[in-house]
């Protein structure tokens, strides 16, 4: 920098500023403030040591500082007073930030790829991880190197196909259809599932390491891999050895990757195979692309019966009837090509259908559209002039490629401004036309008492209109401004109202035949669209934070879920995901979120839990019994809150927590459990405390402890459950070992929900990962402001003394 004419002092300033920008921006997620301060102190000390090592350089470094301290004149005097005031203010602000109570949750440092043990015992035998290799890949490479390439490729394809079936039956719910760690349940887990597409992750590992991680799951992590947040199941309990090796083969094949192989010849052979396969697949389009990417869900013949379909809700689209739910063409007119392209490119929110735009080119996506049309057996897509011999005699499929291209679009004229008046009018129109299915508040609680099914005979439920993240292709978040996104979303809602959702009980609210009267007038449809958009404000959205901040009350805590004091409590919504971790697993949940509020006083703590649930699931309840799926037994709705035992949790020096589903043998948990009871036989709601010591251990009800109070009310598609308990839970010296709810401590908390109408009981339920509950500490105002003020004043006085001394030095010399 000296060559650039930058003085030593300003060199030092640039280095310190650059270091600060690096430390605060280069490490995702952002580095904690405490570490930033430590590293900045090290940087400043290093800079000072460098410049003070040489007397001449040190003198140059100090020169501008001495000029400001000693110099006269207006500019130097103004500069001097600026620093005399600014530096104490900065020091005071820094001190204030250090002494004020922090509501930042504890830092959870974990090693993502911890060192494996030397050996592991699985399926009754021991595996030496230092020498373990994939027997499938070894046999494939053996044949390849021997020149038996066709045989090697056949064996390879067999293993990959088998691994694909295993993956889509077990793994894709979290790791996703694109293997990018963004499965439709991924957002409910913390940490998020691994992105297999990342070239810095899977290809850097040996298959033995991946075999160990898959087989032993989250509970198999060593201490440096904790805290116990990993949702990775213990797959050796559900899969056999060959299935795990095959699923690893599939993952590498899908992403065009090879594992780290130390044997050079084997590594070169694996790379040669990979390159050959990728060359053959490069730019693959049409039917070959469909079979490679789409058939696993939609089926080889497009009937929505792929290997993954059975475990999905909603089911993958069946293309054979040419019924498409999300389109912009009028009435029962077939979808426009743009509709099909958009669905493939962007996916459908709240389903297993991903957006393929990140992996496929526009040309590849366009090539899938004729394939989708070709699966039609209802003669919907072929042109009117098609001859009988143009159809396959057995399947009924059209054999040519000159399918219809639809250009008609549902008109969107007459949009009403988004105003309180329009929303009010929309509410009136909504009550007339929509409540039988969507309920009085739009939560999808059926008032008609009718079971709903789609045209394929699958049981379906009305959309919960208060949750826009489940709106499939309707909700828009990518507009240039929030107003633009809202305007486009309202248009999409209007289109759904006008043309309905083909293949479902959602009817068209505009006349489908010319000359007929619209079931709902055009202006009312726009008002309803505005009203439906406004319903999102009635449900707190799922945010990025998993922290529940309790609010302190001076008086008695509420005894009712409708108490106005709950309005003072901050709401936190957390995503519910199904237990796909441990048998008996759940794959098709209906309840997807829980909203939590917390209040406390000097003696007690209370939680208000809110869960949107379309049914009041209690055996004998008339409406619920009337619409119950005949394939599922009706159980009572229930909810649980889980805390670690006092001795099972540490926050310093590192976070230690139990396994978040029922703890583990060394870290036990306590559950606050409430069951809704039943109407027939008559049984009121029941609250109890449960003790858990691991996912394989029986949960024990606590006898003789009635310290938990709980009650629940179901109304308009929502459960509201109040739970209350003393803050003193037993402590380290008590008999229960439960947590004490102490102000200023961050306490792990997680939730579980059983939707009785969905056949959920026992291990079949939804849950959350560990979050945090904090009771904010009371602030000592005197200490909070006096300490920073005193420090700032001290620095200011020291500055004055320094200036005085330097100016006296100038006069003397």
**More confident site: 532 or 735:** 532
Please calculate the CA angle 468-627-715 and round it to the nearest 5 degrees. Answer: 55
pLDDT by residue (tens digit) across 277-310?
999 998 899 999 999 999 999 999 999 999 999 9
Token pair for residue 429? 């129109």
Question: What would the pLDDT profile of 227-265 be if each residue is shown by its tens digit?
Answer: 567 889 999 999 999 999 999 999 999 999 999 999 999
Task: Calculate ∠ Cα 55-56-57, nearest 5°.
Answer: 95
- Tell me the C-alpha distance between 338 and 366, whole Å: 9
For residue 418, give Cα distances in angstroms to 499, 532, 539, 715.
21, 11, 19, 28
pLDDT of residue 811: 65
Q: Which residues contact 773 (CB under 8 A, 6 or more apart)?
A: 547, 548, 550, 598, 741, 746, 747, 748, 749
Query: Two tokens at 187?
Result: 């957002």
Share of the chain above pLDDT 90, in %: 71
Residue 323 belongs to what domain range?
287-378
pLDDT band of residue 73 (cuts 50, 70, 90) is confident
Task: Identify which of 587, 644, 611, 593 has the alpha carbon closest to the alpha carbon of residue 765.
Answer: 587
Contact between 302 and 318 (Cβ < 8 Å): yes
Residue 677: which region, alpha, beta or left (left: phi > 0; alpha: psi -120 to 50)? left
* 505-514 pLDDT, tens digit each: 999 999 988 7
Q: In 482-588, which residue ranges form alpha helices assigned H by DSSP?
A: 482-499, 522-534
What is the average per-residue pLDDT within 124-148?
96
Phi, psi of 513 (to 5 degrees): -120, 135
- Residues 566, 459, single domain; the answer is no
Pairwise CA distance, residues 41 & 54, whole Å: 21
Whole-number CA gyration radius for the chain: 32
User: Given a cut of 60, is residue 373 above it in pLDDT?
Assistant: yes
502: CATH: 1.10.760
Distance in angstroms (rounded) separating the CA atoms of residues 329 and 502: 11
For residue 731, what pLDDT is reported?
A: 42
Residue 384 lies in a domain: no
Angle at 215 between CA 211 and CA 220, to 5 degrees: 110
In three-state secondary structure terms, 141 is helix
Q: Domain for residue 555, yes or no?
A: yes
Which pLDDT value is given to residue 115?
87
Q: For 771-788, what is the mean pLDDT? A: 85
**762 and 672 in a common domain:** yes
Q: Is residue 385 part of a domain?
A: no
Residue 763 lies in a domain: yes
Q: What is the pLDDT of residues 595-637, one digit of tens each?
A: 999 999 999 999 999 999 999 999 999 999 999 999 999 999 9
My answer on whether 143 and 278 are in the same domain is yes
451 and 470 inside one domain: yes
Q: Which of 345, 360, 378 is the last residue of a domain?
A: 378
Separation CA 659–CA 331 (nearest Å): 51
- Predicted confidence (pLDDT) per residue in 563-605, tens digit: 999 999 999 999 999 999 988 999 999 999 999 999 999 999 9
Residue pLDDT, tens place only, 391-428: 999 999 999 999 999 999 999 999 999 999 999 999 99
Same domain for 553 and 700, yes or no, is: yes
Q: Rounded mean pLDDT of 111-119?
A: 85
Chain centre to alpha carbon of residue 99: 34
Residue 412 belongs to some domain of the structure: no
Same domain membership, residue 181 and residue 49: no
Domain boundary among 478, 506, 538: 538
Give the residue from 232, 264, 282 where a domain finishes.
282
End-to-end CA distance of the chain: 32
Mean pLDDT of 106-111: 75
Omega prior to 228 cis, within 30 of 0: no
C-alpha to C-alpha distance for 569 and 572, rounded to whole angstroms: 10
CATH number at residue 360: 1.10.760.10
Q: What percent of the chain has pLDDT over 70?
A: 97
User: For the chain, how many structural domains are there in total?
Assistant: 5
pLDDT digits (tens, 9 = 90+) for 197-210: 998 888 889 999 99
The answer for residues whose C-beta is within 8 angstroms of residue 495's C-beta and 6 or more apart is 328, 410, 412
Q: β-pairing, 700-701 with 577-578?
A: unpaired
DSSP three-state, residue 426: helix
Kindly state whether residues 9 and 62 are assigned to the same domain. Answer: yes
Answer yes or no: do 218 and 328 share one domain: no
Look at residue 521 and tell me if it is in a domain: yes
């Amino acid at each position: 920098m000296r060559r650039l004419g930058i003085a030593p002092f300003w060199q030092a300033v640039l280095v310190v500023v650059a270091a600060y920008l690096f430390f605060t921006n280069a490490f995702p997620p952002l580095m904690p403030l405490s570490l930033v301060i430590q590293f900045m102190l090290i940087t400043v000390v290093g800079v000072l040591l460098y410049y003070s090592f040489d007397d001449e350089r040190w003198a140059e470094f100090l020169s501008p500082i001495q000029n400001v301290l000693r110099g006269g004149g207006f500019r130097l005097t103004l500069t001097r007073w600026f620093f005399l005031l600014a530096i104490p203010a900065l020091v005071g602000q820094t001190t204030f930030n250090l002494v004020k109570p922090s509501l930042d949750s504890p830092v959870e440092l974990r090693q993502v790829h911890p060192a494996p043990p030397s050996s592991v015992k699985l399926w009754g035998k021991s595996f030496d991880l230092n020498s373990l290799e994939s027997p499938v890949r070894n046999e494939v490479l053996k044949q390849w190197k021997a020149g038996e390439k066709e045989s090697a490729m056949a064996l390879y394809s067999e293993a990959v196909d088998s691994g694909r079936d295993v993956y889509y039956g077990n793994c894709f719910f979290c790791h996703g259809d694109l293997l990018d760690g963004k499965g439709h349940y991924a957002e409910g887990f913390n940490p998020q599932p691994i992105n297999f597409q990342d070239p810095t992750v899977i290809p850097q590992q040996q298959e033995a390491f991946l075999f160990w991680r898959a087989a032993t799951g989250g509970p198999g992590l060593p201490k440096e891999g904790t805290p116990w947040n990993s949702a990775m199941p213990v797959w050796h309990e559900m899969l056999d050895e060959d299935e795990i090796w095959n699923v690893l083969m599939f993952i590498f094949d899908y992403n065009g990757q090879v594992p780290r192989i130390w044997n050079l010849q084997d590594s070169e052979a694996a790379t040669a195979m990979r390159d050959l396969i990728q060359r053959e697949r490069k730019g693959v389009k049409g039917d070959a692309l469909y079979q490679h990417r789409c058939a696993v869900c939609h089926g080889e013949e497009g009937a929505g019966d792929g290997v993954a379909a059975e475990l999905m809700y909603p089911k993958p689209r069946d293309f054979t009837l040419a019924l498409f739910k999300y389109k912009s063409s009028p009435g029962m007119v077939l979808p426009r090509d743009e509709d099909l392209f958009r669905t493939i490119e962007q996916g459908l929110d709240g389903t297993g259908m991903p957006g393929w735009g990140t992996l496929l080119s526009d040309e590849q996506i366009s090539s899938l559209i004729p394939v989708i049309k070709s699966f039609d057996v209802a003669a919907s897509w072929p042109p009117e002039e098609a001859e009988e011999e143009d159809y396959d005699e057995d399947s009924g499929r059209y054999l040519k490629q000159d399918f219809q291209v639809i250009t008609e679009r549902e008109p969107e004229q007459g949009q009403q401004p988004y105003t309180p008046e329009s929303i009010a009018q929309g509410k009136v129109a909504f009550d007339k036309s929509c409540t039988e299915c969507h309920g009085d508040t739009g939560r999808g609680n059926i008032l008609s008492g009718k079971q709903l099914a789609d045209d394929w005979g699958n049981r379906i439920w009305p959309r919960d209109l208060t949750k826009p993240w489940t709106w499939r292709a309707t909700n828009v978040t990518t507009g240039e401004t929030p107003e633009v996104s809202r305007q486009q979303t309202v248009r999409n809602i209007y289109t759904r109202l006008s043309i309905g959702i083909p293949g479902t009980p959602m009817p068209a609210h505009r006349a489908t035949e010319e000359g007929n009267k619209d079931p709902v007038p055009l202006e009312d449809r726009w008002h309803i669209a505005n009203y439906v958009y406004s319903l999102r404000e009635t449900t707190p959205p799922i945010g990025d934070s998993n922290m529940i901040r309790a609010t302190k009350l001076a008086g008695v805590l509420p005894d009712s879920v409708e108490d106005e004091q709950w309005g003072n409590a901050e709401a936190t919504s957390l995503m519910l995901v199904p237990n796909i971790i441990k048998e008996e697993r759940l794959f098709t949940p209906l309840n997807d979120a829980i909203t939590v509020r917390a209040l406390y006083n000097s003696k007690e703590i209370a939680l208000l839990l809110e869960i949107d649930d379309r049914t009041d699931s209690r055996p004998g309840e008339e409406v619920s019994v009337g619409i119950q799926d005949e394939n599922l037994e009706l159980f009572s709705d229930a909810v649980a809150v889980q805390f670690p035992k006092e001795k099972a949790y540490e926050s310093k020096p590192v976070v230690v927590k139990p396994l978040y589903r029922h703890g583990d043998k060394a870290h036990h948990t306590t559950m606050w459990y409430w069951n809704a009871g039943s109407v027939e036989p008559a049984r009121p709601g029941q609250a109890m405390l449960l003790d858990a010591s691991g996912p394989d251990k029986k949960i024990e009800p606590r006898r003789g402890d009635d310290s938990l109070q709980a009650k629940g009310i179901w109304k308009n598609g929502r459960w509201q459950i109040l739970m209350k308990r003393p803050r003193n839970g037993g402590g380290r010296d008590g008999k229960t070992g439960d947590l004490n709810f102490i102000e200023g401590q961050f306490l792990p908390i997680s939730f579980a929900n059983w939707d009785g109408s969905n056949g959920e009981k026992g291990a079949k339920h939804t849950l959350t990962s560990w979050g945090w509950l904090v009771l904010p500490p009371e602030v000592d105002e005197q200490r909070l402001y006096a300490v920073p003020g005193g420090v700032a004043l001290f620095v200011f006085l020291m500055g004055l003394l320094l200036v005085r001394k330097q100016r006296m030095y100038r006069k003397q010399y």
